[in-house]
Amino acid sequence: MKLSSALLFIFLIFVQYSFSQNRIVKELDSNWKFQKGDFQNANAINFDDSKWETVTVPHDWAIKGPFNKEIDKQTVAIVQNGEEVASEKTGRTGSLPHIGTAWYRNKFTVPTYKKGKKVILLFEGAMSEPQIYVNGKKVGEWAYGYSYFYFDVSDFVTEGENTLAVQLTNKAFASRWYPGAGLYRKVSVIVKNKESVNQWGTFITTPFISDTEAKVNIKTKTSGENTHLVTTIFDAEGNQLETNKTTEQFGHEFEQNIKVENPKLWSPESPYLYTAKTELYVGNELKDEVSTRFGIREIKYEAATGFSLNGKVTKFKGVCLHHDLGPLGAAVNKAALRRQLTILKDMGCNAVRSSHNMPSIEQLELCDEMGFLFLAESFDEWKKPKVENGYHRFFDEYAEKDIVNLVQATRNHPSIVMWSSGNEVPDQWGAEGVKRAKWLQDIFHREDPTRPVTVGMDQVKAVMESGFGALLDVPGLNYRVHLYEEAFEKFPQGFILGSETASTVSSRGIYKFPVVQEKMKQYDDFQSSSYDLEACSWSNVPDEDFVLQDDKPWVIGEFVWTGFDYLGEPTPYDEMWPSRSSYFGISDLAGLPKDRFYLYRSRWNTKDETLHILPHWNWEGREGEVTPVFVYTNYNSAELFVNGKSMGVQKKNNATPQNRYRLMWMDVKYEPGTLKVIAFDENGNPAAEKELKTAEKPYKIVLNPDKKTLKADGKDLSYVEVSVVDKFGNFCPKATNQLKFKVTGNGSFKVACNGDATSLELFHLPTMKLFSGKLVVTVESTTKVGEIQLEVTGKGLKKGKLNLTSVD
């Protein structure tokens, strides 16, 4: 099936199961036994795991380090980066000890178990190549570490205690970034009746929407005979709206159409969610109950207008995100994800691309709730390899199964507006690649006829000639801004998506002179300049993409590489050590915004004022030397002052892409004191001002949490920004003091991170150096309510103290 250019309507979120006795979902999160190593007969019932480490799941066995260049050292030419000659690379997968085999074991009881019940084991991500055993017997295996999968273990479990064992194996050279290791997403046991709704068996769409009514179509696949279905729709406040009963099935699938009057539409600005409660009966006996959140919204992709949401043309102001959560590693945590999305929302971001892997369910839930459009990606590799032990080993056997699971598990999320079947796959070359692209796209269409499919393409010349780009629903271009016009002329879709853009590199708070635009620039300290003018050989600075987004209506948006720094891929320093994480992020690995954050915010956040000055103003030894000053603002003009002396008024203009989006005073000479900017409105009146002052020596530690109240669930997190100021309260931007952290009360120290890509300090130890005057300490709740105290100390500094509260 070929989707037309004009598409789509929808919907929806994922199944949140009820706690009725007809269906029980039990998350297996505590009391796991873990041991790294390949242990013979480790799946045996009587194997002694008493000396294994006790962990909670989600869990990443590698994130505690230590960092070691030998772990991922390889001699390779990175084809995606345009390299032709192999060289020694380090840090490509984060230099963390993720390679090897490990075992997890858990003893569990099956709730309300009795013979004839269905018991499902659900895994939302296991890195990688999991083999699953229950009570000493192998129940199945999977290959892809990012895939969701489940097994029916009804014939393997017993009443009373059961033993679950999981073997995981991470091979060397299996990833291009830090993949994490272990049971890094949730594991659950689901108990239900024989007559029940199938796993991921609900599919909700909204094929008709008007101002006064919406048609909600619900397809439900079930097991069992002589059943009927009752579905009730509730609004976001829990009010019952409409109920529908049906006895008609087609191949064990019910189909219902339910009217919702005066529908409230889902959008990033108003992410309204409904709930459909589905009840399966045999006679008058309730056998199963499933609740599914969904949104009512309409999406279209058309040649004339590009992408529209609910009838309004909308451009993707998106970022790409790897799955790691910085110092937490790959282990999913909803509080950490919420913080990421809150930062992105403030920047004006409206979209996320899960690159280059299947997203966590938690991330999708939050995008539904907080209002983010989502591009859900599947693979980084098809049949042709990028890395020695990549997905190409599994493609023939698993690609269809992995796509089916991705779509069925997540298709009810209203945030998802597009699928991606791959990223920069070497299969872009040749006729076989075209056939694979169509085969994969057809699977997506079969499983979900309502959303289009894209591929992130970097071999633009090749896909223009082969027909690869023409067959896709949405042609996605990774970089190659100089080929946009030609691609638009040759591709038939009538629009182009910037599926991956910019790859600008910078280090928070680090500035290099002279200030010039460069590619693959390297410095002795292995940092990149935060003047935001440095990119990679294949990429560009943000302003070049801004021009295309603003001037070409057929460019439907962009997904910037990347929203946050991530572990691994330390370009342009992947041949240097120490360097173990990326420089691409708009925010650093700790989640602290870089200067570039405010450049995007000045363009994307149309509601709030942005006025940001760079660089900092502590340049001892540069007195009298040219030190350019940039201002990122949503105002069109501003005047700069150094110690009260005007440096003149700058206005945005079209002389260069940088002049169009930045205010730049290139000839300012440094003198200590006060740097001040006054921005003007459209009428030339002063509208906002900001100033920086040269700081004296560090004096006091300042703590600023993202929240002061935590939920007492043992999982909630408070991210505390730690900075140092002088005795007058001025921020000290070059401070590198070694700090220590102590948490008491009903919380614990989790991790710390300073955002320095070259730091080899371990995240989980309660001490770390400041980087560019800042770092972030993460405090975790316990399961007890009460007060939590954080104390941060450093030699010669006035300590910082913070009180937090943990509540039910």
Residues with catalytic function: 424, 500
Locate 388 and state its tokens: 């020695």
Torsion angle of C-alpha atoms 407, 403, 380, 70, degrees rounded to 10: 100
Which amino acid would we find at residue 351? A
How far apart CA 436 and CA 468 sit, in angstroms, is 9
- Return the number of other C-beta atoms located less than 10 Å from residue 406's C-beta: 29
Q: DSSP code of 593? A: B
Rounded-to-integer distance, Cα 307 and Cα 7, Å: 9
State how far Cα 777 lies from the chain centre: 21
Question: 449: alpha, beta or left, given left = phi > 0 and alpha = psi -120 to 50?
Answer: alpha
| Cα–Cα distance, 133 to 166 (Å, whole number) | 6
Residue 245 to residue 241: CA distance in whole angstroms: 14
Query: Which residues does residue 792 pair with via DSSP β-bridges, in sequence order?
Result: 741, 800
Phi, psi for residue 543 in degrees, rounded to 5: -60, -30
CA separation for the pair 463, 476 (Å, rounded): 11
Assess contact for 477 and 499: CB atoms under 8 A: yes
Rounded distance, CA 585 to CA 504, Å? 8
Please report, for residues 101, 628, 660, the alpha-carbon distance to residue 664 in angstroms, rounded to integers and kept in the order given: 53, 7, 10
Q: Helices (DSSP H) in 249-358: which residue ranges?
A: 334-347
Nearest one of 355, 327, 351 to 341, comparing CA atoms: 351
59: CB partners within 8 A, 6+ apart: 32, 34, 104, 182, 183, 184, 331
CA distance 553 to 304: 9
Q: Are 214 and 208 in contact (CB under 8 A)?
A: yes
**Eight-state DSSP code of residue 427:** G
Amino acid identity for residue 90 in this structure: T
- Residue 383 CA to residue 398 CA, distance in Å, equals 11
Of the candidates 398, 628, 462, the residue with the CA atom closest to the CA atom of residue 79: 462
Give the whole-angstrom CA distance, residue 13 versus residue 684. 48
CA-closest candidate to residue 336, choices 587, 651, 524: 587
DSSP 626: B
State both tokens at 350.
């409206």
Which has the closest alpha carbon to 387: 62, 72, 60, 71? 72
Whether the Cβ atoms of residue 274 and residue 293 lie closer than 8 Å to each other: yes
431 sits in which H/E element: helix 431-447
Q: Three-state SS for 269?
A: coil
Question: CB–CB of 510/546 below 8 Å?
Answer: no
